Amino acid sequence: MRKVEVVPYQQRWAKDYESEKDQIETVLEDECLAIHHIGSTAIPTISAKPIIDIMVEVKDIKKVDDFNVEFENLGYEALGENGITDRRFFKKGGDDRTHHVHIFEQESLGIKRHIAFRDYMLAHPEEAKRYSELKQKLARNFPSNIDRYIEGKDGYIKEIERKAMEWLRENKGDEQE
């Protein structure tokens, strides 16, 4: 059973991301186009589950499966699409997860959505504070029920993603279309 733990931002999360990024780049080599720190651990003003979310942009999503053994050698479990079409998902740490890797093909909506969410939260500290408070409340209410914790965030996340994508279009113009 996964414990739901939300903690204040930790400075080491950025370093943990950088360390893992270097290893992922070594595995994927030329297939890798970009790697991004996403999720709550990428937003210094909010509390988060202490799991580093990493998003990788690749040339061809189908080729990622060829690297499963290399990811396993780094301690990851390959979970395929894991409920999201055209994504590859890897987790590290079993039930005490430390890292999630989300891999999408270049130009995918998944990439734009994650970047928009992160950047919107960074640009809107009042919204980030609301999100942080929601996550803390849900963690207190459901300390041993990750499914209820996730369900509790779902509507809020969808609303922020909608706002974030609109904000991205307004602020970055056609380059993000």
- Over residues 80-113, the pLDDT tens digits come to 999 999 999 999 998 889 999 999 999 999 999 9
**At 1, is the pLDDT very low, low, confident or very high (cuts 50, 70, 90)?**
low
User: What average pLDDT does range 150-156 have in this prediction?
Assistant: 97
Predicted TM-score (pTM) of this structure: 0.92
List CB contacts of 149: < 8 A, sequence separation 6 or more: 4, 138, 139, 142
User: What average pLDDT does range 50-58 have in this prediction?
Assistant: 98
CA dihedral for 55, 59, 64, 69, sign (positive or negative): negative
CATH topology of domain 12-171: Beta Polymerase; domain 2 (3.30.460)
At residue 80, what is the residue type? G
Nearest CA to 120 out of 45, 69, 64 is that of 45
> What are the CA-CA distances from residue 36 to residues 21, 104, 143 (Å)?
8, 11, 29
Q: How many CB atoms lie within 10 A of CB 159?
A: 11
Beta strands 87-92; 99-105: pairing state: antiparallel
By the 8 A CB rule, do 36 and 54 touch?
yes
Q: What are phi and psi of 83, to 5 degrees?
A: 90, -5
**At 173, is the pLDDT very low, low, confident or very high (cuts 50, 70, 90)?**
low
**At 174, is the pLDDT very low, low, confident or very high (cuts 50, 70, 90)?**
very low
